[in-house]
């Protein structure tokens, strides 16, 4: 049982709620990948880039584990797939693996950035961050064109806007 | 046609028996207990006749489940034929239905008649060949007995690229690209080395998809039929006929959805899977046979691993392993006699603990705690354990309503929304220790749960 991993995921769920978002598994995958790409904290999950953007088998595994002992519960929402909430064993996780302040604040910044967006946007931002981190493409034009080649149904304009938003986030991070 | 010969003359001669007339057969069929008939063409027949495919006749579909369910003697051979049939039916259902303009635009190139026929062939071949790299006894020992980074999918790709299968695929005109078959056959979620195009991902999902994959449809039907349990009986035709291509509103990608009229067939599939896993695939005795088999193989195989050289690999089937087991069992002086006796002599370890949800809720580490306790109390050599993590099948698929709009399956179906997850944790001990161990383990669990409440 890896309580540190659970603690990171639990924090992401909490932070999304505190920013007014109802997080699903998709939000958690994208937020963790985004945090890794932006180098905000050490994220101990491996990701692959597949057709719906960055995805982690590890995260899927750990979320299922957390659900199995009620650290996380999945509630119903008529408009979204299952919304994740902290469950009755959330306190146990926090007690077993408390996070440092900088880790919580890193996750919080990512969740704030990704909250109140459509899932298509969340995917777009996470994919843009992935490209800039893994493929070392930082030029907004090149980034947009790579995004568009991966997701042809996203317009060039949206791809440019997505790339710019991510690079702005990155600049704010560097500025501290 | 030579001058002076007409079809009328030929037919007269034929009717009178004056000439023998033969025409090469291009379509073939075999009977199948699940699908009635499985149909195939010459190319598929050549592949079925190949050595790597014929090997599947000697790979049991459900490993040693026949020790628990005597009827479970079916093999990967007929399963793969069945998957090919189902995959073809899904393809036909999906592409004969009316497609929206947006989808049509997105895949206009692939929809050209000759391209579509090519991809139908690729999908069926991928379905036929998807399990060709299976180890003896299927999944029983895959993780432990293949070197790091290898699994049966990678072995399948290795065999397709190097064996006579490559030649057979490249022979016809136009030929079939081996890499196209591999891309469609190899579950993309398990593949880190390749990014598939949206089109190939779609075909891959038709074959390997969690919710409506042809592989799953066939194995549920076939396994339940042979095992003799009614849980896996679903209505495949209703389900397949209701599958449609949609644009997923969450991400704008082309995906498989289901027509509202087929939602009950989809529910039945999901329930069937749940019951088959709980009742059959994770039956505790079946699982301990897998473990004993793995223990035996780890001793028999050079350096405890199967070879990754494809030629050496395809030379090993269940038959070779069973011969080894019987040989060791019949000779009391054989160094593997005890291990062989566990399987052939049915002296398998007995269950002393089974993880249940209330225990895990009260103490998330309970399974590990019990294993540690047993190993310390009875000796690690007398204890075995098995764990299958919880896997929430979120079943996030879309349903096309009567009005043509899309709704999440979980909004329409309470079965889909409330399907339980399952998790398996088992601890076994040597049969000679069972009577002593069971009450001790029960007592340990009770105490550990009490302690956890106060932590």
pLDDT confidence of B21, banded at 50, 70, 90?
very low
Q: Among B106, B389, B396, whose Cβ lies nearest the Cβ of A81?
A: B396
Q: Among A26, A51, A71, whose Cβ lies nearest the Cβ of B253?
A: A51
Whole-complex ipTM: 0.70
Q: What is the mean pLDDT of chain B?
A: 88
Average pLDDT estimate for B316-321: 92
Given an 8 Å threshold on Cβ–Cβ distance, is A61 in contact with B189?
no
- Element of type H or E holding B319: helix B318-330
Establish how many alpha carbons lie within 13 A of residue B382's alpha carbon, considering only the half-sphere containing its beta carbon.
16
Measure B309 CA to nearest chain A CA, in Å: 28
pLDDT confidence of B221, banded at 50, 70, 90?
very high
Q: What is the mean pLDDT of chain A?
A: 84
Given an 8 Å threshold on Cβ–Cβ distance, is B250 in contact with A120?
yes
Given an 8 Å threshold on Cβ–Cβ distance, is B188 in contact with A81?
no
Q: What are the pLDDT digits (tens) for B176-207?
A: 999 999 999 988 777 766 677 888 888 999 99
Measure B379 CA to nearest chain A CA, in Å: 23
Measure B110 CA to nearest chain A CA, in Å: 16
Cα gap A107→A8, rounded to integer Å: 8
User: What's the CA angle centered on B343, arms B340 and B345, to 5 degrees?
Assistant: 85
Radius of gyration in angstroms for the set of CA atoms belonging to chain A, rounded to a whole number: 16
Domain count, chain A: 1
The packing angle between helices A25-37 and A101-114, to 10°, is 120
For the ranges A43-47, A90-94, B97-101, B324-328, the one whose mean pLDDT is highest:
B324-328
pLDDT confidence of B15, banded at 50, 70, 90?
very low
Residue of chain A whose alpha carbon sits nearest to that of B366: A1
> What length does chain B have?
455
Given an 8 Å threshold on Cβ–Cβ distance, is A81 in contact with B106?
no
Residue of chain B whose alpha carbon sits nearest to that of A77: B411
A172: buried, middle or exposed (CB in 10 Å: 19+, 13-18, 0-12)? Answer: exposed
**Residue A54, strand partner residues:** A49
Residue A158 tokens read as: 């949206």
Q: Among A49, A57, A119, whose Cβ lies nearest the Cβ of B250?
A: A119
pLDDT for the residue numbered B453 = 83
Measure B399 CA to nearest chain A CA, in Å: 14
Given an 8 Å threshold on Cβ–Cβ distance, is B364 in contact with A69?
yes
Instruction: Say whether residue A64 is in contact with chain B using an 8 A CB cutoff.
Output: yes
pLDDT for the residue numbered B14 = 45
Residue B184 tokens read as: 């469609």
CATH number for the segment(s) B29-285: 1.10.3210.10
Q: Among A52, A67, A74, whose Cβ lies nearest the Cβ of B253?
A: A52
Query: Is domain B349-397+421-455 classified as CATH 3.30.70.1370?
Result: yes
**Residue B243, strand partner residues:** B258
> What length does chain A have?
176
Kindly list the residues from chain B whose CB atom is less than 8 angstroms away from the CB atom of residue A54: none
Domain ranges of chain B: 29-285, 349-397+421-455
Q: What are the pLDDT digits (tens) for B82-111?
A: 999 999 999 999 998 888 888 898 888 888
- Single out the residue of B404, B405, B366 nearest to residue B387, CA to CA: B366
| Cβ proximity of B236 and B257 under 8 Å | no
Residue of chain A whose alpha carbon sits nearest to that of B397: A81
Kindly list the residues from chain B whose CB atom is less than 8 angstroms away from the CB atom of residue A82: 394, 410
| Long-range own/partner contacts, residues A149-156 (CB < 8 A, 24 or more apart) | A150/A49, A151/A124, A151/A127, A151/B252, A152/B106, A153/B106, A153/B252, A153/B253, A154/A120, A154/A124, A154/B252
Q: Is the pLDDT of residue A142 over 90?
A: no
Cα gap B393→A70, rounded to integer Å: 17
Domain of A42 in residue numbering reads as 3-175
Measure B367 CA to nearest chain A CA, in Å: 10
Q: Is the pLDDT of residue B8 over 70?
A: no
Please tell me which residue, A143 or B50, carries the higher pLDDT value.
B50
Mutate to test the interface with B, among A4, A67, A69, A134 (most CBs of B within 10 A): A69
Cα gap B387→B372, rounded to integer Å: 14
Please tell me which residue, B453 or B290, carries the higher pLDDT value.
B290
Cα gap B214→B444, rounded to integer Å: 45
Kindly list the residues from chain B whose CB atom is less than 8 angstroms away from the CB atom of residue A117: none
Measure B210 CA to nearest chain A CA, in Å: 14
Measure A169 CA to nearest chain B CA, in Å: 23
Instruction: Say whether residue A155 is in contact with chain B using an 8 A CB cutoff.
Output: no
Residue B28 tokens read as: 């073939």
* A–B interface: beta-carbon pairs under 8 A: 71
| Cβ proximity of B204 and B253 under 8 Å | no
Residue of chain A whose alpha carbon sits nearest to that of B106: A153
Residue B359 tokens read as: 């225990």
Instruction: Say whether residue A61 is in contact with chain B using an 8 A CB cutoff.
Output: yes
Average pLDDT estimate for B229-257: 87
Q: What are the pLDDT digits (tens) for B384-414?
A: 999 988 876 666 789 999 888 999 888 888 8
Kindly list the residues from chain A whose CB atom is less than 8 angstroms away from the CB atom of residue B195: 49-50
Residue B240 tokens read as: 């397949």
Given an 8 Å threshold on Cβ–Cβ distance, is B410 in contact with A153?
no
Cα gap B10→B422, rounded to integer Å: 67
DSSP string over chain A: --HHHHHHHHHHHHHHHHTT----HHHHHHHHHHHHHTTSS------EEETTEEE-HHHHHHHHHHHHTTSEEEEEETTEEEEEEE-TTHHHHHHHSPPPHHHHHHHHHHHHHHTTS-HHHHHHHHHHHHHHHHS----HHHHHHHHHHH-TTS-HHHHHHHHHHHHHHHHHHHT-
Residue B449 tokens read as: 């749960």
Looking at residue B60, the DSSP 8-state letter turns out to be B
Measure B90 CA to nearest chain A CA, in Å: 22
Q: Among B196, B251, B368, whose Cβ lies nearest the Cβ of A52?
A: B251
| Cβ proximity of A166 and A128 under 8 Å | yes
Kindly list the residues from chain B whose CB atom is less than 8 angstroms away from the CB atom of residue A151: 252
Instruction: Say whether residue A26 is in contact with chain B using an 8 A CB cutoff.
Output: yes
Cα gap B85→B222, rounded to integer Å: 13
């Amino acid at each position: 049982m890896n309580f540190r991993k659970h603690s990171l995921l639990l924090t992401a769920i909490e932070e999304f709620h505190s920013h007014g978002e109802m997080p699903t598994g998709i939000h958690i995958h994208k937020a963790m990948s985004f945090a890794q790409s932006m180098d905000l904290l050490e994220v101990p999950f491996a990701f692959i880039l597949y057709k719906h953007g960055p995805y982690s088998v590890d995260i899927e595994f750990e979320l299922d584990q957390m659900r199995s002992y009620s650290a996380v519960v999945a509630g119903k929402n008529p408009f979204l797939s299952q919304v994740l909430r902290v469950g009755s064993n959330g306190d146990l996780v926090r007690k077993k693996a408390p996070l440092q302040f900088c880790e919580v604040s890193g996750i919080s910044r990512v969740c704030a950035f990704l909250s109140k967006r459509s899932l298509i946007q969340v995917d777009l931002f996470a994919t843009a961050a992935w490209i800039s981190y893994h493929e070392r493409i930082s030029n907004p034009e090149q980034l947009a064109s790579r995004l568009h080649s991966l997701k042809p149904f996203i317009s060039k304009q949206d791809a440019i806007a997505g790339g710019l938003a991510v690079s702005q986030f990155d600049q704010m991070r560097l500025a501290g | 046609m030579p001058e002076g010969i007409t079809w009328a003359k030929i037919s007269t001669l034929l009717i009178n028996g004056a000439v023998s007339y033969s025409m090469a057969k291009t379509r073939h069929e075999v009977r199948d207990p699940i699908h009635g008939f499985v149909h195939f063409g010459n190319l598929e027949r050549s592949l079925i006749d190949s050595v790597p495919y014929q090997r599947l006749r000697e790979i049991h579909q459900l490993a040693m489940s026949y020790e628990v369910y005597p009827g479970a003697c079916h093999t990967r051979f007929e399963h793969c034929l069945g998957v090919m049939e189902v995959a073809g039916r899904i393809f036909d259902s999906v592409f004969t239905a009316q497609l929206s303009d947006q989808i049509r635009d997105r895949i206009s190139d692939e929809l050209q008649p000759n391209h579509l026929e090519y991809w139908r062939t690729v999908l069926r071949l991928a379905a036929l060949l998807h399990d060709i790299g299976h180890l003896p006894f299927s999944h029983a020992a895959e993780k432990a007995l293949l070197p790091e980074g290898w699994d049966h999918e990678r072995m399948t790709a290795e065999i397709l690229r190097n064996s006579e299968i490559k030649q057979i695929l490249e022979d016809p005109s136009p030929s079939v690209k081996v890499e196209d078959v591999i891309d469609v056959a190899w579950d993309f979620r398990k593949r880190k080395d390749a990014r598939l195009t949206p089109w190939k991902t779609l075909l891959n999902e038709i074959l390997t998809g969690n919710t409506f994959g042809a592989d799953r449809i066939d194995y549920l039907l076939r396994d339940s039929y042979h095992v003799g349990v009614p849980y896996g009986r679903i209505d495949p035709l209703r389900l397949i006929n209701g599958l449609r291509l949609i644009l997923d509103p969450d991400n704008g990608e082309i995906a498989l959805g289901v027509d509202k009229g087929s939602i009950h067939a989809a529910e039945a599939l999901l329930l069937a899977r749940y019951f088959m896993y709980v009742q059959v695939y994770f039956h505790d005795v079946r699982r301990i046979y897998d473990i004993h088999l793995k223990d035996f193989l780890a001793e028999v195989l050079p350096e405890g691993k199967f070879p990754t050289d494809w030629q050496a690999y395809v030379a090993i089937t269940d038959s070779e392993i069973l011969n080894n087991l019987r040989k060791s069992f019949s000779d009391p002086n054989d160094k593997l006699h005890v291990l062989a006796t566990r399987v052939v002599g049915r002296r398998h370890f007995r269950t002393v603990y089974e993880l249940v949800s209330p225990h895990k809720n009260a103490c998330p580490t309970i399974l590990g705690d019990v294993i540690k306790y047993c190993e310390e109390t009875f000796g690690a050599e007398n204890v075995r354990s098995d764990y299958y993590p919880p896997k929430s099948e979120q079943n996030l698929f879309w349903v096309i309503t009567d009005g043509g709009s899309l709704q999440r399956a979980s909004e329409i179906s309470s079965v889909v929304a409330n399907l339980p997850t399952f998790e398996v944790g088992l601890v076994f001990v040597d049969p000679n220790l069972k009577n002593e161990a069971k009450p001790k383990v029960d007592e340990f669990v009770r105490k550990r749960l009490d302690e956890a409440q106060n932590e």
